[in-house]
Amino acid sequence: MLSTAWSRRTLKFYAGVSRRWLSNSPLGKVRRAPPDKILGLTEHFNRDTNPKKVNLTVGIYKDDHGHVTTFPSVAKAQRIVDSHEELNKNLSYLPINGNEVYSKRVLDFLYRESCPDNAELLDKDKISFVQTLSGTGAVAIASKFLSAFISKDVWLPNYSWANHQNIFSKNGFENIHLYSYYDLSSGQVMVEKWLQELEDAVGRTDNVKTPQAILLHACCHNPTGVDPTREEWHTIIDKIHELNMIPIIDMAYQGLESGNLIDDAYLLRMCLAKGGWSNGLYLCQSFAKDMGLYGEGVGSLSIVLPPAARVENKLALDSQLKPIIRSIYSSPPGYGCRVAKVVLSNEALKQQWFRDVQNMVQRLHGVRHKLYENLQWPDLVNFEKQHGMFYFTRFKPKQVNELKEKYSIYLTNDGRLSLSGVNSSNIDYLSTALGKVSEMK
């Protein structure tokens, strides 16, 4: 008796403590965040027991057998790393700004090979560079740097990679503006509307006290797969230059547009040719997709200084990037960068890498053609504008849901479909389901 009364009192006491804690403590008020828009779907997919299930959500390249592949060039580089004492024995920390040889090779690849007309930027030491934790790390470091020193306003395309808003808002940006990019009804880029919006908001100098940043997808726009034409890019670059905006080029898919890594750096070339970006040009680059080094976290951030910048300005930038990196992950991971460094240092391997990227893109083009044969959707093969790993179905949420619930076919909620998940074994099943769902009103 005594013990039951005692335990009732104890429970009551603790229930009171819990209620007080919930109402008084900020920790008790933390609510669940929504699941990640893309990776949350894969968790759902993994639980699906339908043997015909197809995951078309994540941007990871898979071969025609549905396997995530290691590119032959990368596999060879891994063997070289494994078999050389001096390459695989030293597992100590990298410097905060990354491995020196990796940095040199990447700078050469980006600014001598991809942008030969601007190679003098390297000779004149006008580029502040750090190895980053993949493309996400590059965008995050750029955001922290810009928001600390230059601007807390950024313009993102509507639509964009879902993580962009998250990165900028978590790294000091106070104002995140969206510019019209993609017209859902026509499937076209809305350049005129986009530039008019910038003109109206940024062009009025009395409204704008600090320069504003703008994020540009270098190619293979995610999620729509639709990029402006070269002529349109000229107009866009002229306008953002005139408005003294700060270009942040997000180059996560170099090579996946044309199959040629060098050709696909066209936006960087065009922006460098324009030149004179008074608050710098920011390039966030990743080897996740074009070397298949997804989980290894290999990328870079470079800040191209304007011609008027002095040695001291470059040294100041170099020094300021370091404490930012140090506060987040201290220094970048080593293994992936050793592999990338070997690919970039060995001419035969580099050529093999170029062929590997070409082969990947050829398979993706083949998938587009086969889906087109089955579905007759012209955008699938509109190669002047439609590029890369993703096809934007323009399906409504209820159609995306129908695909998931009825056919166990998973697209991202905005209707983006990763072509790399399509293969000979599932294309007929997929085409039938996509065709049926497209007829839904």
Ligand X SMILES: Cc1ncc(COP(=O)(O)O)c(C=O)c1O
> Where do contacts with ligand X occur on this chain (CB under 6 A)?
59, 134-136, 161, 217, 222, 250, 252, 286, 288, 294, 299
- DSSP secondary structure letter of residue 299: E
Closer to ligand X by CB, 157 or 280: give it: 157
Q: Which is nearer to ligand X, 136 or 408 (CB)?
A: 136
Query: Least separation, in Å, of the C-beta of 418 and ligand X?
Result: 10
Q: Smallest gap, in angstroms, from Cβ of residue 301 to ligand X?
A: 12
Cis amide leading into 159 (omega within 30): yes
DSSP 258-285: TS-TTGGGHHHHHHHHH---TT-EEEEE
What is the smallest separation between the CB atom of 220 and ligand X, expressed in angstroms?
Answer: 8
CB 261 within 8 A of CB 357: yes
Q: In angstroms, what is the minimal distance from the CB of 318 to ligand X?
A: 22
| Residue with Cβ nearer ligand X (71 or 161) | 161
CA distance linking residue 183 with residue 417, whole number of Å? 18
Nearest C-alpha neighbor of 125 from the set 315, 282, 372, 346? 315
Name the minimum Å distance from CB 422 to ligand X.
Answer: 18
Q: What is the dihedral of CA 389, 395, 397, 402, to 10 degrees?
A: -90
List 183's β-bridge partners, or say none.
188
Name the residue with tokens 């893309």. Answer: 38
Q: Which is nearer to ligand X, 166 or 346 (CB)?
A: 166
**Cross-strand bridge partners of residue 283:** 249, 302
What are the φ and ψ backbone dihedral angles of 126, each rounded to 5 degrees? -105, 10
Query: Long-range contacts: 114-122, Cβ < 8 Å, 24+?
Result: 114/254, 114/261, 114/262, 114/265, 114/268, 114/269, 115/265, 115/268, 115/269, 115/272, 117/269, 117/272, 117/273, 118/269, 118/272, 118/273, 121/272, 121/304
Nearer to ligand X, 222 or 423 (CB): 222
Packed helices 427-438 and 347-375: angle between N→C axes, nearest 10 degrees: 50
- CB of 141 or CB of 349, closer to ligand X: 141
| CB 165 to ligand X: min, Å | 12
Shortest reach from residue 204's CB to ligand X, in Å? 30
Residue whose CB is less far from ligand X, 126 or 338: 338
Closer CB to ligand X, residue 247 or residue 299? 299
Q: Least distance from C-beta 222 to ligand X, angstroms?
A: 4
Supply the minimum distance, in Å, between the C-beta of residue 295 and ligand X. 9
Angle (CA) 273 129 331, round 5° = 155
Query: 243 in helix, strand or coil?
Result: coil
Q: Give whichever of 279 and 286 is closer to ligand X, judged by the CB atom.
A: 286
Helix H or strand E encompassing 180: strand 175-180
